[in-house]
A and B are shown apart, each in its own frame.
Chain A
């Protein structure tokens, strides 16, 4: 097939075709769905982080007029199987059985004629608890005698694994310099604009479920698998989703209970979470700490790395693999051949941990980039030079890192050099030095990252070229605001040689396409796009057969270009795809695309910050990025993803922090206690540069969804340290709040006086 890069759409910064409906208010989010006779569910949640449920009395609640049902574990025990996890732990029941393990765990559900009644009745459900001692600090959870969270696990450290390569002992014994530090990234909440919600309707045969999710196929499979008496047909629809950021990947208790209620009661049921509820009922992210040492020679060659990574998994270890990803990406862009990392996943009495934009990579990259900066300071070396001296070189690609990840391709040192030029790092650093000389605390920080995208197992696409020339594309990808439909349409329009407004993209409905995987892990344009291309290729292959028949030439005789077949030796024999579609009643293809190996985007980010001396407040004045995202199908979408990720990363370094009291209550339960960055906190402009190292995907895409959130924290952290020079201040954790900076400034001031 001819190149897909010769058309007018691919590579163009088109505005999103999705936006018109959104801007005109025609979107349908979960709470916009209203079915006739619909009931409303409210979950009764545990006020204790750790307790035995002694008894539940629903009689007062049930008596309220308009209340249709009040259910507890006992009522659904025979109907839904609990979740069993891959690591030693007790099962998680959709409604807690005899024990609650986190503040906010659902214990009962009230269904009523209207949401007001349901809410009032929920107040009347009386549950007797016997409080158990909770543990919220993962280090305390590891101590002997700590309250045990899962009876089936021999300790709260439910996941343990280690990775190594080379000989660490040897590396450390040869080292001239060893730097060691403790670093952490705080527990955060994804805070999508739209909280979660579910609506379900059962007509006696088919169960239809709408959920604000990233994974409708998983949800359908979970219903089929976990319901002891599943309906004969299940259709899961993902309506418009107001942001997800990974937190809508898991299938949640409410995703199963609400459909079951609809089946049991024979009426549609809706549950829509409030913000307060979403804070406890939706997974939290990050919450990883590390102790790391780097061994190096005097002239800055990193010899080895030793680390212990501890992830706080919260009450249920559904996503125990998160700290594992942080551990395995821990050597970052550097060629470190001796390493040992131990990973621990620890359960505590908190909301379960789950994926959040970057899922393990932001943590690993924050750790290694912070350590490399520390080493540079220790050696008195320029951090850029130190990075260049240790980076994986292009001729080593593909490169298997110390802990088993296989980086596919890329020139890391070349990219860093290019970034230093593009960003004008020398000028900026000079400017910052001069400003500091005048008393302004400004600093410039740089970070380099590598990360993993386009994971499997596959993605699906179903493309139809109608006789009318309209093209319908149905994908298994499930975008939640990224604009992927526009990118898919660009690919299709160029490959089919047609106009983009002939193309319609649909997604998020298991009834439209039987199998699919979904949008997460920056996989959609790469893997979903790959599926779209594969389907289009298949259509062209079918068309070629038809064209050969119609033009009476051999298939190999035909050249396909921009929507038409031309016979090579008799160029007057031409037929368009449209003619073929019209003549054959349309062409269609259904495919699965297997992405094969993952690909690894990489790049450099730079932050310019100013610290207010008197208060410790930090302002990000400027931000620049150079990212190798492979081919940018639509640079405007790419830029949107980078800027959004950067602002989320900024929130993590400067503001965001889920806080539990020592006795296990969640203190940050509203957006007034939990600081999400707004446009006012963002730098006025993010200067985005793109670079393109091809990948094995047909359209050469690398993935872009998470890089901003991965690169911004270490870049901003370094910029803060630079702003506070010559004071030796270390940013060891996120967030670093004004108060902490202020305290560090005062301490450093005192030490100076001595």
Chain B
């Protein structure tokens, strides 16, 4: 056991004010640099000597990275350094946006506590790369596009391609996550998020779900994404496909959840906090409850 630290190691600190500057620093220092957004994760990791960067690059003062914008038809754009509480506050003052991305709102507003949400950023949450990060399932659900930049240029990826497993991202040392773009969800859709937090701090099984046009078999759409129970987030398309079959949407749920089980069973985490069996069961239970809740909200609207 390395000694338990209450103190940080020494490091250099840079606070670029443009994206370009930040990317140059990253290009120069590569592996020896660490990006600092809210610092909620990074500072803890440094205290515990899990990382000891030579230079810490603080990206909070780059205006471009703090964006929170919704444009009709284009969707929601979140700068990587937008704080969790800024995003939920933005949504609170734009209820239409909040309802469009309800699952994201529900996930973000239940991260830790207000103090943490006031510091933590969406990009930091994504890049911390632990299975239980609450942004994962909703981002998978909304087909979020992640924009990644380096001095060499830009590329676009998805959350499921980006997050490979615990502590493991498809991100080169000279790259930075710049923004997250969530296209408009299908019209007339409802979404929600649910997680199970037993005694410990974090979720052991999280589900995000979206339902659109439930009564019309041709245009209806159901999306399911899971995280926390699996090493990386998963969009469970096998289960979603079941809802393209003929028949009443309600009657398809069991078959869809069975498909979900067989699709992810092998991947579910087993550790001292929860067994694989419980995690899988909790994914199903939550998917079931979410599904009912979303359908009910359609009925209420019409009723």
> CA–CA, A104 to B272, complex, Å?
20
B198 and A739 form a contact (CB under 8 A):
yes
Determine if B45 is an interface residue (Cβ-Cβ < 8 Å).
Answer: no
Known A615-B282, A672-B200, A742-B278: A272·B1 in contact at CB below 8 Å: no
A116 and B9 form a contact (CB under 8 A):
yes
Determine if A743 is an interface residue (Cβ-Cβ < 8 Å).
Answer: yes
Determine if B196 is an interface residue (Cβ-Cβ < 8 Å).
Answer: yes
Beta-carbon nearest neighbor of B273 in chain A: A673
Cross-chain contact of A674 among B5, B49, B200, B202 (Cβ < 8 A): B200
Determine if A689 is an interface residue (Cβ-Cβ < 8 Å).
Answer: no
Q: Which residues from 339 to 394 on chain A have a C-beta closer than 8 Å to any C-beta of chain B?
A: none
B7 and A656 form a contact (CB under 8 A):
no
Cβ–Cβ < 8 Å partners of A667 in chain B: 272
Q: Which residues from 25 to 45 on chain B have a C-beta closer than 8 Å to any C-beta of chain A?
A: none
Beta-carbon nearest neighbor of A672 in chain B: B201
Beta-carbon nearest neighbor of A278 in chain B: B4
> CA–CA, A532 to B7, complex, Å?
43
> CA–CA, A280 to B282, complex, Å?
32
Cβ–Cβ < 8 Å partners of B251 in chain A: none
B1 and A104 form a contact (CB under 8 A):
yes
Determine if B2 is an interface residue (Cβ-Cβ < 8 Å).
Answer: yes
Cβ–Cβ < 8 Å partners of A668 in chain B: 272
Cross-chain contact of B5 among A47, A119, A671 (Cβ < 8 A): A119
Beta-carbon nearest neighbor of B282 in chain A: A615
Known A123-B49, A274-B4: A675·B9 in contact at CB below 8 Å: no
Determine if B114 is an interface residue (Cβ-Cβ < 8 Å).
Answer: no
B198 and A614 form a contact (CB under 8 A):
no
Cβ–Cβ < 8 Å partners of B12 in chain A: none
Determine if B118 is an interface residue (Cβ-Cβ < 8 Å).
Answer: no
> CA–CA, A69 to B8, complex, Å?
21
A122 and B200 form a contact (CB under 8 A):
no
Cross-chain contact of B3 among A42, A272, A659, A673 (Cβ < 8 A): A42
A103 and B4 form a contact (CB under 8 A):
no
Known A273-B4, A274-B5, A277-B4: A116·B10 in contact at CB below 8 Å: yes
Beta-carbon nearest neighbor of B194 in chain A: A615
Cβ–Cβ < 8 Å partners of B196 in chain A: 615, 617, 738
Known A654-B199, A738-B198: A119·B289 in contact at CB below 8 Å: no
Cross-chain contact of A119 among B1, B3, B273 (Cβ < 8 A): B3
Cβ–Cβ < 8 Å partners of B288 in chain A: 614
> CA–CA, A43 to B201, complex, Å?
28
Determine if A45 is an interface residue (Cβ-Cβ < 8 Å).
Answer: yes
A115 and B7 form a contact (CB under 8 A):
yes
Residues of B within 8 Å of A, CB-based: how many?
Answer: 29
B1 and A46 form a contact (CB under 8 A):
yes
Cβ–Cβ < 8 Å partners of B199 in chain A: 654-657, 675, 735, 737
Determine if B171 is an interface residue (Cβ-Cβ < 8 Å).
Answer: no
> CA–CA, A123 to B272, complex, Å?
29
> CA–CA, A346 to B138, complex, Å?
49
Cβ–Cβ < 8 Å partners of A123 in chain B: 2-3, 49
Determine if A276 is an interface residue (Cβ-Cβ < 8 Å).
Answer: yes
> CA–CA, A274 to B8, complex, Å?
12
Q: Which residues from 195 to 239 on chain B have a C-beta closer than 8 Å to any C-beta of chain A?
A: 196, 198-202
Cross-chain contact of B9 among A120, A274, A654 (Cβ < 8 A): A120
Interface string of A237-280 (1 = CB under 8 A from B): 00000000000000000000000000000000000111011001
> CA–CA, A65 to B192, complex, Å?
56
> CA–CA, A45 to B4, complex, Å?
9
Cross-chain contact of A47 among B1, B10, B275 (Cβ < 8 A): B1
Beta-carbon nearest neighbor of B204 in chain A: A739
A116 and B281 form a contact (CB under 8 A):
no
Cross-chain contact of B6 among A45, A274, A280, A742 (Cβ < 8 A): A274
Known A119-B3, A737-B198, A743-B278: A276·B48 in contact at CB below 8 Å: yes
B6 and A739 form a contact (CB under 8 A):
no
> CA–CA, A408 to B66, complex, Å?
68
> CA–CA, A665 to B201, complex, Å?
21
A615 and B285 form a contact (CB under 8 A):
yes
Determine if B255 is an interface residue (Cβ-Cβ < 8 Å).
Answer: no
> CA–CA, A615 to B282, complex, Å?
7
Shortest C-beta distance, B45 to chain A (Å), equals 12
> CA–CA, A665 to B2, complex, Å?
13
Main secondary structure of the interface of B (DSSP, over half): loop
Cβ–Cβ < 8 Å partners of A674 in chain B: 200
Cβ–Cβ < 8 Å partners of B289 in chain A: 614
Cross-chain contact of B198 among A103, A114, A115, A675 (Cβ < 8 A): A675
Beta-carbon nearest neighbor of A120 in chain B: B9
Determine if B274 is an interface residue (Cβ-Cβ < 8 Å).
Answer: yes
Shortest C-beta distance, A640 to chain B (Å), equals 24
Q: Which residues from 139 to 175 on chain A have a C-beta closer than 8 Å to any C-beta of chain B?
A: none
Shortest C-beta distance, B50 to chain A (Å), equals 12
Q: Which residues from 246 to 303 on chain B have a C-beta closer than 8 Å to any C-beta of chain A?
A: 272-275, 278, 281-282, 285, 288-289
Cβ–Cβ < 8 Å partners of B6 in chain A: 115, 119, 272-274, 277
Interface string of A94-120 (1 = CB under 8 A from B): 000000000110000000001110011
B202 and A672 form a contact (CB under 8 A):
yes
Cβ–Cβ < 8 Å partners of A614 in chain B: 285, 288-289
> CA–CA, A616 to B6, complex, Å?
37
A671 and B4 form a contact (CB under 8 A):
no
Cβ–Cβ < 8 Å partners of A655 in chain B: 198-199
Beta-carbon nearest neighbor of B49 in chain A: A123
Shortest C-beta distance, B222 to chain A (Å), equals 20
Determine if A647 is an interface residue (Cβ-Cβ < 8 Å).
Answer: no
Beta-carbon nearest neighbor of B288 in chain A: A614
Cβ–Cβ < 8 Å partners of A737 in chain B: 198-199
> CA–CA, A396 to B193, complex, Å?
60
**Counting chain A CB atoms within 10 Å of each CB, which of B3, B201, B282 scores highest?**
B3
**Counting chain A CB atoms within 10 Å of each CB, which of B2, B49, B202 scores highest?**
B2
Shortest C-beta distance, A46 to chain B (Å), equals 7
Determine if A637 is an interface residue (Cβ-Cβ < 8 Å).
Answer: no
> CA–CA, A274 to B1, complex, Å?
14
Cβ–Cβ < 8 Å partners of B7 in chain A: 114-116, 119
> CA–CA, A617 to B289, complex, Å?
15
> CA–CA, A123 to B50, complex, Å?
13
Known A123-B49, A274-B6, A659-B272: A617·B1 in contact at CB below 8 Å: no
Cβ–Cβ < 8 Å partners of B48 in chain A: 276
Q: Which residues from 708 to 747 on chain A have a C-beta closer than 8 Å to any C-beta of chain B?
A: 735, 737-739, 742-743
Cβ–Cβ < 8 Å partners of A671 in chain B: 201
Determine if A44 is an interface residue (Cβ-Cβ < 8 Å).
Answer: yes
Beta-carbon nearest neighbor of A123 in chain B: B2
Cβ–Cβ < 8 Å partners of A735 in chain B: 199
Cβ–Cβ < 8 Å partners of B273 in chain A: 673
A739 and B278 form a contact (CB under 8 A):
yes
Q: Which residues from 100 to 134 on chain B have a C-beta closer than 8 Å to any C-beta of chain A?
A: none
Beta-carbon nearest neighbor of B2 in chain A: A123
Give residues in B with beta carbon < 8 Å to A.
Answer: 1-10, 47-49, 196, 198-202, 272-275, 278, 281-282, 285, 288-289
Give residues in A with beta carbon < 8 Å to B.
Answer: 42-47, 103-104, 114-116, 119-120, 122-123, 272-274, 276-277, 280, 614-615, 617, 654-657, 659, 665, 667-668, 671-675, 735, 737-739, 742-743
Give the top 7 A-B pairs by smallest Cβ distance, nearest first: A675-B199, A655-B199, A277-B4, A672-B201, A47-B1, A122-B3, A276-B4
Between-chain CB contacts (< 8 Å), 29 pairs:
A42-B3, A44-B3, A45-B1, A45-B3, A115-B6, A116-B8, A119-B5, A119-B6, A119-B9, A123-B49, A272-B6, A277-B3, A277-B6, A280-B4, A614-B289, A615-B196, A615-B282, A617-B196, A617-B198, A655-B198, A657-B199, A668-B272, A672-B200, A675-B199, A675-B200, A675-B201, A739-B198, A739-B275, A742-B278
13 further A-B pairs in the complex, CB-CB below 8 A; given A277-B3, A615-B282, A656-B199: A45-B3, A47-B2, A103-B1, A115-B6, A116-B8, A273-B4, A276-B4, A617-B196, A617-B198, A672-B200, A737-B198, A738-B198, A739-B274
